[in-house]
Every structure is written in structure tokens, then in C-alpha cells.
Chain A
Amino acid sequence: MKGKNLSVAQLLYKYRQLLILAALCIFFAAALPGMFFTMSNFRSILYSMSLYGLMICGATFPVLLGGIDRTVGAVAALSGAICCMIIVNSGYTNQGVVLGILAGVGVGMLSGIIHGVIVAHFDIPAFLLTLATSQVIYGLVQVTTGKELIVVMKPALFTDIGAKRILEIPVPVYVLLICFIVAYFLLNHSTYGRRIYSVGGNREASKLSGINVKRTTITAYMMSGMMAAIAGIVLSSMNQQALSYAADGYENDVLAAIVVGGVSLRGGAGTLQGAIFGSLLIGMLNNGLRLMGVESIYHNFIKGIIIIAAVAADMYSSYQMSGLKHRGGKKHPHKQAAGENQ
């Protein structure tokens, strides 16, 4: 059987995440005529999810390896702080901005490399390690900024990153798009991505197939640190400031989006587009609930129920689809993840 002639059920299954999004869209569009289904509203959804999206583009890498990176929020704060400090010290020049961005991203990558080295060389639960180090990093941010609020309202080169629109689309959305394409390309079309899936799928087998597991791990955390750092710079530009507790708690939302998007926490299964779907789902819910004028206090409850419904539907379809495996049809790797995760 060739992969191409999929049955209707398999097609539906393949695009189930899009279907869930579409269903939600239709619901909100019906409930909010002329308001939800507009260009400007989608722009605002994309704008507000761009930070999460950026972090997801990085944080998915360690999760695919079976690890986790809870430092994304802290790294974002650190890179934002360093970037802003450099801009201020350079006298708000454009060179300062370039230097600041490079330094911020560099620090993010460095932090990722350090985490990668520790995780790769010692068998430490990454969850706990990154929980502890994110505390350390937030401490370092406070040391860096001297606990001052660092305001950077010029030059335009910096503030444009967060606020400017090109062709009616805000710059952060472009940044997200570029980072998504880079990460997508790496995961799906590069040998590096193949190695990530392989190591996440079976570490020992990968090692025996000549994959340098340590290097793969270190670079995965480096990617996570780098993307978080980019997110941090975008965040500080959006807010025109560096705040020593910026992006606090973002890691929870990022991980929630990743797992809702069907990436297995055991590694080796799931896709980046799935993870982005997760954050779109959550972003759209936030937006739709606000537009419907639902009081803030009900948001958490409704979000929880809808996430459960979406994930349960996903699980149910996986379960139903698993009956097809005896036909030898094309299988989505995610389905397996669902089974493995039981």
C-alpha cells in the first residue's frame, strides 16, 4: 500500500488538529459575527502568541529528546536584560542594538549549552535541573539589572521589533515565522532533525548507529536557549523595557502548548507544527473568551475543559485509528506517542 491513497478516515485523522482549530474558529465566528473572523483579529491572535510560539520553536527540541527545558522564561528575561543594558550603555545607538541582540542571543545559547552539557553528561532529571537553574538565572537577571527597570524607548531599530507593522503584519509575527521555518527545516529536513528523532526514539540504538548523543543533546538545549533568547528580545522590545521578572511562568504555558499539541514527553514523537497548534489553540481561546466578554474568572475553567475535550478527542481518534494498523497503512507517529504515554 502506497502512502498516497489514504482513506477519508485517515485524512481526517491526519488533519485532526486543524479540524479542532477549524471547529473552534467556526464556533467563535458564529458567536462573534464580524468580530472574530477578521484580519485584524487574527493579526492580534498571532501577535499575542508570537512570544509563546518563539519559545515553542526552541523548547520542542529537548522535549523531542525526552528532556524538558523549564528555563525558557528565565532565559528570555536574561537575554532581554542584557540586550537592553547594552543598548543603554551604547547610548541608544543602532550599533548598540545589533550588539545587544547578538549578546542576548549568545547568552541564551550559552545557557542552553550549559544545560545540555549537564543533562548529557549526568543522568539528571531535566525537569528538576531546569526548575532549579531557572531560579539561578532569574537571580542573575536581578544582578545584571541591579533590580532597576531598564527603559529602552529608542532607537527605532529596537522598538520596531516589537511594535512595527510591515504590510499590516506586526514584526514579531515575521520573527516567529522565520524561527518556525528554521526550526521546522531543522527538524524535518536536516540530518540534525533526524538525529533528534532517532535519539528521542531510542537513545541506545542511536548511539550504536554512530550518532553523537551528547552533541545532539547539547545542541537541542542550545536551540531552546537561543529561541527563548530571541523571544526575550522581542518581549523587551514590545514592552520597551527589561524587567527582571519578565516572562515569569511562561515555561508552563509553553510546555502546556507543546503537550497539548501532541508532542510526547517521552521523546521521539510529535511535531513542531503540532506544538504550534497547541499554542494557537490556547491563544485563540484566550482571544475568543475575551471577545465574548466572558469574565476573567471563568477563563481558566473553560480553558481546562476545552483542552481536555481537544486532547480526549485526539486520544479517541488515535485509539480508533490503531485498528487500522493491521492493514499496514500509513501511520502518524503521534498516534504511537499517545499509546506509549498511557
Chain B
Amino acid sequence: MRQEMLRRYISFGLLAALVLAFSLTSEFFFTSNNIYNLLRESSIVGILAIGITMTIITGGNDLSCGALLGLDAMVISRLLYVNEANVWIAITAALAVSLLGGLFNGFLVAILRIPDFIATLSSKFVFSGLTLMFAIRSATGMITTKTLSDPTIKWFGGKLDFGLYYVTIAFFALAILSQFLLKNTRLGVHTYAIGSNRNSAELSGISYIKTKFAAFVMSGFCAFVGSLFFLGKIRAADTESGIGMEFQAISAAVIGGCAFTGGRGDVVGTVIGVLFLKVLENGVLKFNLSTEMQKVLTGSVIVIMLVFDAAYNKYMQAKTSKSAVIAREKREKKVGAQ
């Protein structure tokens, strides 16, 4: 536990260092407007990342959640624009689509036994295919995108008087809730158990199928919440909305301490990971850099961060393993003396 905490402090420290570096070098970085904007940018990816964290902890992955977000957004747009449906009906429909999407992933992984990576990659094709099929068509049959003007949708893009966006509130609320879910509920412990050691979890009577389904449905739900705020912000859904966002979300989760082998990481780590990525992305825009240097810098900082983290971890492990041996020896001595 102590080592986990240490890792947490390190990743938090790296984030703080990055914030400090940008604050010192750019007058625009540490301004309230930028902070709110930054948080807003982080929030949609962050909401997706929360869902992905659940699936990664079960030892899986969800490459489809970005496409699912896009599908939800498209469903809402189409219902509002083409069918002129009531906004709440549209939102309910999107929720249903999301949950079905999560169940579909769960079905592929838990029932058909397809490995998570291939299963969600395929369902990414399926969801993005559905998005294309749902897309709004112009009179000549060409796919087009339309801006929505519905006040409810606009509300989702709104903010509090002092500048904090609703989406950020939703993000943090969801983060706190899911952290609680992971750490303090039966389902949460089962999620870790399935990811960490599936066999023993099943021997303890935990259902692999139920836990997997729960994780994917959570991920689907996060995609749904994300899609609402995505629409609030962009007010239009295009055929590629959300696609590719999953990679950012996965990166955030992994930076935050999730391991693909499962059983590790939590939502707090993922939130730090998201903020790290977005602070970097946001900060890099503040310098007068050419686009290629922006890319090089962003990538390099991530690589340096990874290497630093790994090297430090290696060092700590070497250190703690030695102290563990000493502690064990003491214990043996005690047992021997009895």
C-alpha cells in the first residue's frame, strides 16, 4: 500500500511540475480562464477514461468507447434534427444505445470468450459503422452534419457564473462516484479480483461474466455521459466524432497506474493521467512553436515522463525488496525464537 501511495505522489508531483513549468513560461497558462478551459478539455476524455479504467482493471480494455460516444452523439443529433424528437426522448435513446453497446461488448468478451482487444476493436468498427448509417443525409443523399440549437443540448455546454463548466463538475462527480464504487463496494472489489487473478476470484464465487458485463456497461454509460457534454460543447456530431479519443483515455489510464494485465490502478490515478495529458497539450499551445515541434515536444515529454517513472520504480523496487528481505529475516527470527 505504501508503494502505491508513493507512486501516486510521484505522478502527482510530475503533474505539478508540468503545471509549474508552464505557469512560469507562459503568462496565459495560470489564468482562471485557461484553467477552466483546460478542465473542460480534460473532462470529456476524462469521463471516457473513467469507463476505460473499469475495463482495464478487469484485465481488459475498451477500444470501442470513443466510437460509442460518437454513435450516441449521432443518435441524439439525428433524432433531434431529422425526426424532430423531444430532446429527452433523444437522450434516453442514446442512453439505451450506450447500455446496449456495453452489453454487446460484454457479450463478446464474457460469453463468446473473444479477447477484449479484438472484441472491442471489432465493436469499434460496428459502432462507427452504425454512426455512418445513422448520419444525417442532405437532399442529394450526401452525409452532412448539422448544428443543433436545442436549449437542453446547449445547457450541457454551459458553465457556472465564475467560469467552471458543468462538464467538469460532471467529470469530478463521476470520478468520485466511481472511485467510491471501486474501493468501497462489493462490485469494486470484485472488479479488482477478476482482473488480478481470475481463477481465484471465480473460486471465491465471483462471477466473471457479471463483473465483465458490469465493467463494459459502466464504460458504455461513461460514453453516454461523455456524448451529452460532447454535444453540449460542439453542438454537432460528425461521422468521426469520438473516434481516437479512446487512445487518449487509455493513455491517461496507463499513465495513472493502470496495467493492461489488470487488477491495478484506480480512478484517482486516471484523473491525474488525464490532467497530465491535457495540461501538456494545452501548455504546448502556449508557446510559439511550429506544429511539428508541438508534436515532437508533446511526444517527448510523455516519453521522458514514462522513462522517469519506470526508472524510479525500478530503483524503488530494488530498495524495497532489500528492506523486505531484512524485515522477513526479522520475522523469521521472531518465529524461530518462539
Contacts and interface: CB of A to CB of B under 8 A. Distances in A.
B122 A300 contact: no
Contacts of B306: 122, 124-125, 128-129, 132
B125 interface: yes
Contacts of B114: 308, 311-312, 315
Contacts of B113: 315, 319, 338, 342
Interface in A132-162: 132-140, 142-143, 147
B133 A298 contact: yes
B255 interface: yes
B227 interface: no
Interface stretch (B3-11, B39-47, B309-317, B325-333): B309-317
B13 interface: no
Contact of B296 (A129, A136, A256, A265): A136
What range describes how many residues of A lie at the interface? 35 or more
Nearest to B302: A132
Contacts of A123: 310, 313-314
A300 B243 CA distance: 13
Nearest to B305: A132
Interface string A232-267: 000000000000000000000000100110001100
Nearest to A143: B292
B190 interface: no
Which one of A118, A143, A259, A300 has the highest number of Cβ atoms from chain B below 10 Å of its Cβ? A300
Interface in B196-255: 198, 247, 250-251, 254-255
Interface of A, secondary structure class, is helix
Interface of B, secondary structure class, is helix
A91 interface: no
Contacts of B126: 300-301, 304-305, 308
A297 interface: yes
Contact of B118 (A124, A127, A301, A311): A311
A124 B251 CA distance: 12
What range describes how many residues of B lie at the interface? 35 or more
Contacts of B313: 123
Nearest to A313: B112
A265 B115 contact: yes
A260 B132 CA distance: 23
B161 to A, nearest CB: 38
Given A301-B130, A311-B122, A122 B295 contact: no
Contacts of A131: 247, 251
A301 B310 contact: no
B69 to A, nearest CB: 16
A14 interface: no
Contacts of B310: 122-124
A19 interface: no
B303 A132 contact: yes
A60 to B, nearest CB: 15
B65 interface: no
B180 interface: no
B6 to A, nearest CB: 16
Given A138-B295, A297-B143, A300-B132, A133 B303 contact: yes
B291 A303 contact: no
Interface string B110-123: 00111111110111
B128 interface: yes
B265 to A, nearest CB: 12
A278 to B, nearest CB: 10
A125 B293 contact: no
Leading 3 A-B pairs by shortest Cβ distance? A301-B129, A304-B125, A300-B129
10 contacts: A122-B306, A122-B307, A122-B314, A128-B251, A136-B295, A142-B291, A297-B135, A303-B129, A304-B125, A341-B116
